[in-house]
Structure 1
Amino acid sequence: MSQPISQFPVPEVADLPEDIRERILTVQDKAGFVPNVFWALAHRPDEFRAFFAYHDALMEKDSGLTKGEREMIVVATSGINQCQYCVVAHGAILRIREANPLIADQLASNYRKADITARQRAMLDFAVKISTAAHTVEAADREPLYAHGFSDDDIWDIGAISAFFGLSNRMANLTAMRPNDEFYLMGRLAPEDKG
């Protein structure tokens, strides 16, 4: 039995504004399916546009953070925030970006025990603090990041990604957004096992 994507209404593709319909169909052509976040947020078109504009500004630009590191932030903070949708969906993206079938599970359950570099650990320590105790962040919290070569722009990106996905995590939990089944197996096989 198919489970609902969201506890809120999910529009039909034909009923969507043209720009949102085009974006969803483009994603479907590229990925082979439509991630449920697109359907769930299409319920509120103006918010859909704002959400994805900020998402793309953070996650798709050139940055001192690799795309894999950005996904690490999403998975680690989403695990802390108990967001099933973001852990599953971004865990799949992370496994693919890093060509590592283990990394997402490690980060989602306890990033402090994950097989990551000291630089990535410092990045995630800061991201998690933004996610869980932003009101306590002070200048000294940036020092370990500077020591690992992060710039002020990188630190802004770490904080902004954590903050944005705090919003995303809460919306996913509000709507009971269901991860697509396709995400669960993506990137699970090591490259040599794909034969």
Structure 2
Amino acid sequence: MTQPTPSRFPVPPVDSLPEDIRSRLLTVQEKSGFIPNVFLTLAFRPDEFRAFFAYHDALMDKDGGLTKAEREMIVVATSSANQCQYCVIAHGAILRIRAKNPLIADQIA
């Protein structure tokens, strides 16, 4: 596993984290090839990490209604409106994969 880049916020070693958080981070790394720094920073506070992902999962992994691609479209549009370039890029990448459309994230953002 690669070491995270230096951060002005505390970033705990993945090996020192509670098992549920370590497992979630390693799953993200397996799927994407890296662990986003924002996840590592959140992991410094396990209760907040768990709350964030519980909220994420409740919104993004829910059955019925919108597709996962449509949900990512909403996140990309909201991120753009909030001028959060980090989120536009991260969720735009996910949207391109889920929508199988290389231009859609740019069009929405």
TM-score, normalized by length of structure 2? 0.87
- Once the two structures are superposed, the pairs formed by residues 1-195 of structure 1 within 5 Å of their partners are 4=5, 6-108=7-109
Please state how far the C-alpha of 1:80 moved relative to its aligned partner. 0.7
Structure 1 residues 29 and 36: CA distance shift in structure 2, 3 A: same
Task: Say whether the 8 Å CA contact 1:5–1:40 is kept in structure 2.
Answer: no
- Structure 1's 57 and 87: CA in aligned 2 closer, same or farther, altered over 3 A? same
> Which is higher, the Rg of structure 1 or of structure 2?
1
- Structure 1 length as normaliser, TM-score? 0.51
Q: Which has the higher contact order (CA 8 A, sep 6+)?
A: 1
Q: SS in structure 1 opposite 2:57?
A: helix
CA apart distance, 1:7: 3.1
Counterpart residue identity of residue 47, structure 1: E
Instruction: Judge which range, 23-32 or 64-73, deviates more.
Output: 23-32
Unaligned runs of 5+ in 1: 109-195
Identical aligned pairs, as a percentage? 77
Figure out how many residues of one structure are paired with residues of the other and give that number.
Answer: 106
Structure 2 stretches of 5 or more lacking a match?
none
Q: Would you identify which runs of 4 or more consecutive aligned residues in structure 1 move more than 6 Å?
A: none
